[in-house]
Amino acid sequence: MPEGHTVHRLAGAFRARFVGKTVEASSPQGRFAEGAALLDGRVLQATEAHGKQMFLMFSEELWLRVHLGLYGMWRFAGPGLAGFGRRAARVAADEPGVFPPEPRGLVRLRLLTRGNAADLSGPTACMVLSRAEKAVAMRRLGEDPLRDDADPGRAFAKVQASRSAIGLLLMRQDIVAGIGNIYRAEILFRARVDPHRPGREISAATWDALWTDLAALLQDGVETGRIVTTEPADRERSSGKARGHDACYVAHRARRPCRVCGTPVLAEPMAGRMLYWCAVCQTG
Ligand SMILES: [Zn+2]
């Protein structure tokens, strides 16, 4: 599932290529024909990301909300497109003279301008909202460290009020919006916090460290399109860019030696996704 940094990158891609342009909207698959008809022929005004949700504003009263979920993705076609996070977005191969490209697979929504196409397939949510409905959707979301309006104190109040494990609370999008499985595992490791520690035992100083680290890692992810949490000295190859298997401390590294202490990384399901951690390093 794309984590928050990818959704912010997608919102940025729409801002750069679609905002201010008249957009043809259609549903090649047919499932979103009514929604697409409401958007068709309008000028895209603004884009916004909040956690894993993206909002496109076509007028004050007309918003599109998209949540990619586990399987959703955008496929872009057009000139000068940069790459995006794996799976969440693909860039169609340049085929001179063939624009727009034929929709591939079950395309729920196609947004098309003179030079750019964006095809959405497999989203968990794709719906048209009024301003009031959009406000309701936003209120359900927790604090997103990539947004200027984020309030870490509000998220901490929810954490402190809970007996649930911090590893579970971090996955709740109504507490911190944008964290997925990899950021959860990595920020807990970097802060040496036991994922099973109840939320109410997390100190303000620990929360502050987790939040600050997450904000920096997410910002880095927006800029690079990758999640890299390891310090160069902790990688197998300490020079150059972190290769895939060197990018994280514990995520997707079950049974492999911890980069810091050498004991095998553990894995167990928590909040519906596999949790990875080091029982020796993470005792805080
Ligand atoms: Zn360790």
CA of 57 to the centre of ligand 1 (A): 46
Q: Which residue is it, tokens 């729920």?
A: 108
Ligand 1 center–CA 97 separation, angstroms: 54
pLDDT at residue number 52: 95
Task: Supply the pLDDT for residue 36.
Answer: 98
Tell me the mean pLDDT in the region 211-232.
Answer: 95
Ligand 1 centroid, distance to 282 Cα (angstroms):
7
Is the model more confident about 33 or about 84?
A: 33
Residue 272 token pair: 């519906």
Q: Judge whether 43 and 55 are in contact, CB under 8 Å.
A: no
Tell me: pLDDT of 141 over 80: yes
Domain-wise residue ranges, the chain: 4-139, 152-277
85 pLDDT band, cuts 50/70/90, is: very low
Query: Is a pLDDT exceeding 90 seen at residue 166?
Result: yes
Give the Å distance between the CA of 264 and the centre of ligand 1. Answer: 8
- In whole angstroms, give the CA distance from residue 204 to residue 178: 21
Q: What's the predicted TM-score (pTM) here?
A: 0.91
Looking at domain 152-277, does it have CATH number 1.10.8.50? yes
Q: Looking at residue 98, what is its pLDDT?
A: 74
4-139: CATH class = alpha beta
| pLDDT (average), residues 183-202 | 98
Strand stretches in 130-260, DSSP E:
none
pLDDT at 93 > cutoff 80: no
Instruction: Work out the widest C-alpha separation in the chain, in whole angstroms.
Output: 61
Active-site amino acid positions: 2-3, 52, 273
